[in-house]
Amino acid sequence: MQYVEIAPSAVAARFVKTYWFLEDDAPSLDAQRIVPDGRAELIVNLGSPYEARTLQPKYFLMGQITGPLVVRATGPVKIAGVRFHPHMAGAFLRVPIAELTDMPAVALGDLSKALCSDLERLEDLESPVQWTRELNRIFGWSAAHGDSVISAATSELEQGTIRIATAASQSGLSARQFERRFVGAVGIPPKLFCRMQRFQRVFRALEQPDTSWADAAAQCGYYDQAHLIRDFRDFAGKPPTALLSEETDLVKHFVLGALA
């Protein structure tokens, strides 16, 4: 398996957190579990499709997911992915992103035929460097812009440096207005988004030497291990040791990549 992430250009970075590329000529055909990270992704599948109940389209938007997504490779894998900033997928695509939550494989042709046509050019390219150059061109032209109020709040909530009530107060909005604007831009409520970010930070904590699950839970703001395990069951569908011991490298790439 070859997995690489490449930062977008400064212009494309208004919308895109990172590009990622995955190739595997002999992937595991076992079921693999993708966990929520609070970000929508655009997928260009240049190899065999993945199966998630049904075969995924060649070009699709993976909207916000609130629980585990189980996928299975059906053959050689060759994917170019675009991981959006939490609040920018809907703005770039000009779609009501909240309506796509828990619809993890929306055919791109149903959302933007023009973008789908642009992405077809990737099929004539061979390397991540070439794909990145083309993706920077595609994501560099748009004059779309996100909700500036939610953009500022999301950046702080993503890092865990601010409480939701404080973010709402700083925005000048009431708590109810802030939540409505946040859901409209990100696709999920701020409380759920913050839970996902805390959950994701656990994996980064565990990369440090001699860090136990209890240490990681405490570092990331969990009351205790039981609190952490509840989030694992909600977001991954299984307890922490089972997720990391039984799943393939694909899961670890996606979890740790979301934290970069």
Read off the pLDDT of residues 146-173 as tens digits, 9 standing for 90 and up.
899 999 999 999 988 899 999 999 999 9
Answer with the residue of higher pLDDT: 120 or 223.
120
Q: What kind and span of H or E run contains 199?
A: helix 190-206
pLDDT of residue 227: 85
> Is 24:1 a contact under the CB 8 Å cutoff?
yes
Tokens of 115: 């973008």
Q: State how beta strands 32-34 and 41-45 pair.
A: unpaired
What is the SS3 assignment for 97-120? Answer: HHHHCCCCCEEHHHCCHHHHHHHH
Mean pLDDT over the full length of the chain: 89
Class of domain 2-140: mainly beta
pLDDT band at 107; cut points 50, 70, 90: very high
% pLDDT > 90, the chain:
64
Count of positions (residues) in the chain: 260
pLDDT of residue 257: 47
Residue 99 is classified by DSSP as G
Tokens of 78: 């060759």
pLDDT reading at 246 higher than 70:
no
Read off the pLDDT of residues 6-24 as tens digits, 9 standing for 90 and up.
999 999 999 999 999 999 9
How many other CB atoms are found less than 10 A from the CB of residue 129? Answer: 11
What is the SS3 assignment for 59-70? Answer: EEEECCCCCCEE
Ramachandran area for residue 254 (φ above 0: left; ψ -120 to 50: alpha; else beta): alpha
Read off the pLDDT of residues 194-231 as tens digits, 9 standing for 90 and up.
999 999 888 888 788 888 778 888 888 888 778 888 89
Q: One-letter amino acid identity for 215?
A: D
Which range, of 33-42, 84-93, 210-219, averages the lowest pLDDT?
210-219
pLDDT reading at 49 higher than 50:
yes
Read off the pLDDT of residues 182-196 as tens digits, 9 standing for 90 and up.
999 999 999 999 999
pLDDT band at 260; cut points 50, 70, 90: very low
Q: Which residues pair with 34 in a beta bridge?
A: 69
pLDDT of residue 126: 86
Q: Which residues pair with 170 in a beta bridge?
A: none
pLDDT of residue 259: 42
pLDDT of residue 244: 64
Residue 16: φ, ψ to 5°? -105, 130
